[in-house]
Structure 1
């Protein structure tokens, strides 16, 4: 389905932030890797987290859920012998489970999104798993992928970090369960180091010991460890909230968003600092962010690698800033559900934004007077693109129509419900 976003001069209201998708998927996984029963309070509901729920069930976990919590009795280091797994369009879920599936005799990951996840490369993780002893068939590093594992050996392995940190996270989940000790060396640069911090935080909470170097480029992992069954509480989601906060920043607003911890390890918490630097009036106390926007923003420069999943929302806000903004060190945006630099900027131009791209940079020449809109734009099946384009539509002079906007459900199924609750004029159309 498409959505029509009509210019909305004012947003006002008080909403609870969505639960974190990144933490939910990680808690679901470590609970499945434990042999007892774990409880996760306030898990996120999205296509990505639902894909993890579905796949850990297929692998042998017992999953029960009510409105407040989910309980999981795990399979430990012995997943069920399943022939196929379908992760939908969830890249992180695929990569984490490629590692776990290498504990099984043979698992094929099917390709149900050939125009999105089916185009993304996984060669770096494949090479690392083969170093551990897995045998892998693949389509030039892409889905479908068949993994034959069972008897992995541990030892010294390398992984490239310059495409995605998810490859390293996958190995960090796997290696503590192997019979031998392991040592991981990260080659090249490591993108999104702050997300590795989230992975290490969750693994440590689950009772696992990993010795990481200060620069996160080397790891020593004792083998023969067991994940412990624990109780977890999922914090609010900064990546999704970034779009809501950007929407409040570009309009006249009085918007309160609850559940966003000030000391969260989510890199996307930088959205609050970025909006402050753009002169957006806001406060952040006791996990509550209040934005009292006046629609006036100033340009900035920002290293986007620390907050990858908030960059598109930041760019959307910068479209209306006074001056030229620059977001650098963001090349890994090219390797997401779509090319989030070229594809996203092409759609912004259609709406009237003045933007440029470099290989690893986005440059925005702000238009404080607003953009024309009045166009139909393609979100490229990408939830982050959908949310960010919506921010632009709220400040356009004419409505914009975003095609296939239902793909926002990948991470934030109630995004448009939340915007409507704040007064945004958005309408679903066939």
Structure 2
């Protein structure tokens, strides 16, 4: 995938409050998995609400290359005719995973269990991200991996002819590594056992059950133990993809920061392993409530109402990081507008995201006159409510969440905030600028 031309943007305080109801794009984690499980199932899976960002389109193309029939019927509406567990075929060309670490790591799990040869690559950002954390445990299935130095893409894999079930204790909490191991275990005879030290998002376990696999979970002294019975027949099942809570975070925080605002974000996934930001913002005093709670496709969903609030600084414990790892950049923006100091603890995982997201978030704050420090793996932000200077240009490092966080900041600063490149926002949140400007009834976000 070629690098899109840079798209500099800037954001300034809107003329009035943000108001309205909106939907955000479908959950990225669930969208990737819906396409992959559809490809592994027998029969035809109908998907609605699929995120049509570049990351997910890369997964759709990869499933097609591996032999599944993948068809777009309309906006967010897709159909996947699968090949059954173990039925994927060797791809004719290199698989380009774009900017998506989730897609690349989960796909390595899938490929480890199939006796095929494949080569994966991605954009410049993805080629810097570590894959050793999945290739090491997956090698125990009998799969072979060849990688660049540091375990990075492009890499080649030859999947196992008779994959062995894994028994793996995760060294750090990672839903991607856990999911890769479980996907490899689908093709192995016997029981695959994965132990995670802290609970991470469980969309893979939920979707495995939704498609008919036998998965059990036990909380033990060792950690959370997930057991998967290998070689199930997965049966096609419809998937309704809820709105992505990581995308909802941006209009929610914007509404909290712009005086007089009231915004309703509809149909958001409320999986308890993904709602750390909501918990944290409420601890900061945020006027947030959930309406119309229901269950769709095995996942809890609801509508989130956010109203302008004067926030206060808090300490965010390290144990919450797995449930909000993608939301720390925008939480740092909320912290900049809060009274007092906010300390976010245990952010080591942020150093290996699309960018070194911890350093990039700190730089974003510093460029706009916000006092902050990094101590070890903690980010400390000193808030200046109603008096955030702004005026800086933020380097996004090809990271969509850094770009969106900076633009939300610009809605609450004295001087506009610019970003060097917003082109990558489309990987997770197509139409972000139009949607935010719609809430403002104007164009506070526009070309820099």
Residue matched to 2:212: 207
CA gap of 1:158–1:68, structure 2 versus 1, over 3 A, is: closer
Residue matched to 1:367: 384
Task: Map 1:27-42; keep pairs closer than 5 Å.
Answer: 27-42=34-49
CA gap of 1:159–1:152, structure 2 versus 1, over 3 A, is: farther
Distance 1:329 1:13 in 2: 35
CA displacement at 1:185 relative to structure 2? 4.3
CA gap of 1:88–1:68, structure 2 versus 1, over 3 A, is: closer
RMSD: 1.9
> Are 1:97 and 2:107 counterparts?
yes
Distance 2:76 2:404 in 1: 26
Distance 1:399 1:308 in 2: 27
Distance 1:315 1:67 in 2: 33
Task: Map 1:69-148; keep pairs closer than 5 Å.
Answer: 69-76=77-84, 77-82=86-91, 83-102=93-112, 103-110=114-121, 112-114=122-124, 116-139=125-148, 140-148=150-158
CA displacement at 1:266 relative to structure 2? 5.3
Distance 1:419 1:185 in 2: 41
> Are 1:232 and 2:239 counterparts?
yes
Residue matched to 2:165: 155
The SS at the match of 1:265 is coil
Contact 1:242 1:268 in 2 (8 A): no
Identify which of 56, 61, 65 aligns with 1:58.
65
Contact 2:399 2:424 in 1 (8 A): yes
Distance 1:220 1:273 in 2: 29
Provide runs of 4+ in structure 1 moved above 6 Å.
Answer: none
Residue matched to 1:7: 13
Distance 2:207 2:179 in 1: 11
> Are 1:284 and 2:284 counterparts?
no
Give unpaired runs (5+ residues) of structure 1: none
Distance 1:152 1:371 in 2: 59
Residues 175-214 of structure 1, C-alpha deviations (whole Å, 9 max, x = no match)? 1222x21333447x45xx231x221111111111123332
Distance 2:217 2:313 in 1: 37
CA gap of 1:314–1:87, structure 2 versus 1, over 3 A, is: same
Residue matched to 2:428: 411
Contact 1:337 1:382 in 2 (8 A): yes
CA gap of 1:293–1:29, structure 2 versus 1, over 3 A, is: same
CA displacement at 1:320 relative to structure 2? 0.8
Distance 1:211 1:182 in 2: 11
Distance 2:370 2:336 in 1: 6
CA displacement at 1:163 relative to structure 2? 6.6
CA displacement at 1:156 relative to structure 2? 4.2
Residue matched to 1:323: 340
CA displacement at 1:224 relative to structure 2? 2.1
CA displacement at 1:333 relative to structure 2? 1.1
Distance 1:126 1:290 in 2: 42
Residues 16-53 of structure 1, C-alpha deviations (whole Å, 9 max, x = no match)? 23221111111111111112111112111112211111
Give unpaired runs (5+ residues) of structure 2: 1-6, 293-301
CA displacement at 1:109 relative to structure 2? 0.6
TM-score (norm 1): 0.92
Distance 2:241 2:272 in 1: 12
Distance 1:37 1:386 in 2: 37
- Name which of structure 1's ranges 134-143 and 217-226 shifts more when overlaid on structure 2: 217-226
Distance 1:254 1:414 in 2: 20
Residue matched to 2:394: 377
The SS at the match of 2:70 is strand
Contact 2:51 2:76 in 1 (8 A): no
CA gap of 1:72–1:351, structure 2 versus 1, over 3 A, is: same
Distance 2:203 2:438 in 1: 31
Contact 1:238 1:268 in 2 (8 A): yes
> Are 1:396 and 2:413 counterparts?
yes
